[in-house]
Each structure stands twice: as C-alpha cells, then as structure tokens.
Structure 1
Amino acid sequence: MPRILVCGAGGQVGHCLLNQAASFGLEAIGLSHEELDITCRTQIGQALERHRPALIINAAAYTNLDHAEAEIAQAEAVNCHGVANLAEAAREFGIPLFHLSSEYVFSGDGDQPYRETDPTSPANVYGATRLAGEEAIRSRLERYLILRTSWIYGEHGNNFVKTMLKLGGKSDEISVVSDQIGCPTRSRSIARVLIELAARYCREGTLQWGLYHYSSSSPCSWAEFAEEIFREAARVGLIDKAPRVLPIASESLPRAAARPAWSVLDCRRIEEIFGIRPKPWRDELRHVIRHLNELPDASSGPAPSRVPFRLYSQG
C-alpha cells in the first residue's frame, strides 16, 4: 500500500486526509505540528527518512489573519519558509509535494471568479505569506500540486459553522458581515480531492502538475452562510431557535487584517483536467449539520480570527 506523509494532521483538512486515505488504498502517516515542525529542516528530513512516503501532502499553515499583521515573522516562518523546507526535502527525496493554499492570495477587488492565471495581489500579511509559499514550491519543484481553496469548515476543529452553532443558542441576534462574498467549502471534500489525486499519482506514476482551484459552488456572503447554518440547525433540532442574522458592512467591525470582499474561485480547470466537480455548499452544509447533530458536543470555538460578527444577548 503506497504511503503518504500528511503535515498538519491536527487541522481540519489534515484530520480528514487521515480518515479517507485507506478508502483510496493509501497508508497515511499523519504528523501534527507537535510531531513535525515544518520550520525545522532537520525534522522534515528525519520524518522522510523514517517513513519513506511516495509523496507529501502539506495541510499545515499559520492561519490567524489578524495576528499575522503583528506576527509577520511567525507567519512567514510557517507559510513561506516552512513550505520552502518541504519543497527542498521533496526534491532531495525525489517525491512530489501537494500543498493546500488559499484564496487570500488575491486582492478581493474583482467581481468574476478568480482563475489560476489571474494576477495575485494579497490584501494582508497572511495572503502575502501564502503566496510566498506557493512561489517557494514553484521555484524548487517540477512535480507539485498546489490547491487553492476558500472558507473551510467541517465537523472537526474550529470553524465558522461550529462557532455560529455555539453562539446560536445564546443570542437572539447576531450581526454578520454581508459584503464579503465567497464559497464555503467542506474540509472533507477538500481532503477527498487531495487523496483522490494522490491515489491517482501512486497508481499511474504521473499527474498533470501545477496550480488548481477547488471550492464549493454557488457564492454567498458570510451573513447568508450564517442564516443557512441556523436554518438547518433548527430544522434538525441542534439549536432550539434560529437567531436573527443582521447583515452589516465590514467597516462596522474593523479588524487588523483587511478582508477581501470577493473570494470566489473559478474551479473549471480541475474539472476539465481531472473530472472533479465542486459540490453545492448548501448540500455539503446539510451533511455537516446532520453529522454534528449526532455528536455529543457539536460546538467548538472560538474559530480562527477570520470573520467579524457581533452578538446581541437574550433578554
């Protein structure tokens, strides 16, 4: 059974990668940040020597947008230098590198879905470090797959959906920004894309390398996403009553890092080349809510510093 090494195994996508690998005929060795610090080249080399994987999938990243504005060195260490370390190690061991990136490499000033060939212009430090990580891979490797995605959520870890559910039972009204548009994407679906392509490489010995976009279909605002979360959660009995969502402008809740107003990715390339079609986010959300309803504790938070919202307490 081909073996893959998953960096960032403790995160949302990393967790799903480990869960799905066996069903595609792969053995996944998952290493969390505590087990493998990608900013340390020695640790990476030791891990590759020990496990001898057929490829690396990197789901590790520094993701706190607001803290990154002040902690530039820390964000660069993981998102740029750490990724460069992985690329150099992959080249040394003669194996490919799969890397998960972000829609934040774009300015967010557009109104058409971003294609892989569109110019990048990050609006914040986080986006700049993610773009630098992509460039570190491209300059060092020929066999790589970079997958940009957006607005990740799922059953595992901290994310917007679980934060909304946690707050939904405590507030009558929640203000959520309505002028940031993107495509919520389930962590399990992102992992499935990466695993499916990893299995294809292991089976065929090659792949059409490069940069791809993958996110769920049908854009929405954060406020619309929140409304659907509460609607579904109330329908299955996960919360007693759906709070009212008050749409507000981003400028009403200033944050340290600028948020792109437009985060929609064009995913036609991955469909044309690999036959992988994005799923509607509402369908994916229903699966997540249904699954969370079956868990003993559905809430987990707070989510990483990404989405501004304001609470209005009951009574």
Structure 2
Amino acid sequence: MSFLPLRYVDTMNTSATHVTEFVLLGFPGSWKIQIFLFVLFLVFYVLTLLGNGAIICAVRCDSRLHTPMYFFLGNFAFLEIWYVSSTAPNMLANILSKTKAISFSRCFLQFYFFFSLGTTECFFLTIMAYDRYLAICRPLHYPVIMTRRRCCILVSSCWLIGFLGYPIPVFSISQLPFCGPNIIDHFLCDMDQLMALSCAPAPIKKLVFYIQNSFFLIFTIAYILRSYILLLRAVFQVPSAAGRRKAFSTCGSHLAVVSLFYGTVMIMYMSPAYGISTLMQKILTLVYTVMTLLFNPLIYSLRNKDMKLALWKVLLGMRIVINL
C-alpha cells in the first residue's frame, strides 16, 4: 500500500516546513478486508441515518409524542445524525483511498466537529436525565417547569456549549508547527495523534485541552449520576410494583444509552494511554462514534410502546405514499 509523500511549503524563507496534509492509516488489512470493512461500516452508517431519521419523523408526526421527553429525543436523534456524519463519510472514503490523505484544514475541521458534537451529546444526555428526574421526582411541578420555552432554551444551550467551547483550543493547536512526519495511525484526526506530530512541544495547550474535556465529561456524568440516585430513591418509595415498573420504563432506555456512551468514552479518555494499544483505541473510538449511534434508535424504540406505535404509523404512511 502506497501513501503520498509528505507535502510541505516553505514558511518565511526559513528551513522550517509546514505539513499540508495528513495520512490516516485507518484499519490494517488486505484489500479484501478493506472492502469488507467498507460494506460493514456503510451498512452501519445508513442504518444509523434511517433509525434516527425515523425517530425524528415519528416525533414530528405523532401528536401524542409532543411532550418534553420526546422533544429532547427528537433533537437528540438529529444530533446523532450529525455526530456520525462527522466521522463516517471520511472513514468510508479513506478505506477506498489508495493515498489515505486528508488535507490539513479538513483534518482540523473534523477535529473541531468531532469534539464539539461529542460534547453536545454529553450535555443532551444530561438534560434528558434532568427531564426524567423532574417527571418522576417532581411530577406536580413538571408541567410548570418543563415548558416549551424552557425545553428550547435547554436544547439551544447544549448546542452553544458544544460549539463555542472549542474554536479557540482547536485553532491554537492548528497554529503549532507541523514539520513532519504526517502519518496518523487512526481513522480520524484525534487530539493525541495530532499533538504527537507537532515538531514543537506544547504541554500547556495540551493540558488546557484535556482539562476542558475532563471538566465537561466529569460534570455531565456527575449530574446524571446525581439525577439517577435521586430518581431511584423516589422510585423505591413508590408503594406498588406496577408503579415502580412504569417509573423504571420511562428512564431505562436513557440509562442504557448513557452507560453505552460514557462507558466507552471513559475507557478511552480516562485510562492510562500506554495501557491501550493503537488498535484498541481505534475500536473504542469506533464503538462510541458509530456503534452506539446505531444502537440508540433501537434502544429507544424497542423499549417504548408509544415510540413503536408512532414508528409503525410512519412506516405505514410511507408504504401508502409509495403505493400511490
């Protein structure tokens, strides 16, 4: 397998060079393995788009789902489409590419959207936990607190925090001198790999970036855990078993998604880097950027009767339109 040679341009008539593109090695293997991976990941990507798209259609079309919980779920599905699209299309193109090259600007653009959308997802899971806490622990105050205006403010805040938190850190890292080599042993442009390629150490920038990521991660998971501790305490005080089952059913899907997403992210970013092989880092990244986004629509639809009925209505409507 051949790669493009390192391209560079002279800067300020000095001997320094500037990388204009990176090489993403992706997953190793023969051409047959690459074709197999391409088909597999393409199926995952299409199913993820269809699953989350179906949830958005169901929430919009079924009036019974015009509640805060499903409003958040519909917006979360919209986020999932963008999150998987920040990595999957380039990964698919990279598998079939002989050069495996990605331009300098595209690499840092992917880097920005990857972390911004990931952070937005963390905050979405947090407000969804807050919504379930209010619905179960403060049911009488729930309609007054969780108004349409409050829901829109919470959703907008998630997007703003995710996208306004990273322009300066990503831009500052992009200004580091990258003199070569330009090979990234990953399928996307991630923090560690980019910092390792810089020819000028920048421990302060790296530390600031990791402190920011750790703060977002720890804050959101701590709030979610606190919400579920209070929620479980309230559920166990419900006298009837039927009431407890109903309460658990309203938050079981969200808890499964939180466990799946945060489990892989914490293994990836909160464990010693030297203890995880390069291949394992790729697999873990693949799990929380592609696999969890594929499972989320299934988790929310299979565990929710109202969602299943709404999805059947959407499918039935599409079938009628096609027949016409």
**Could you state the TM-score of these two structures normalised by the residue count of structure 2?**
0.27
Higher radius of gyration, 1 or 2: 2
Higher relative contact order (CA 8 A, sep 6+): 2
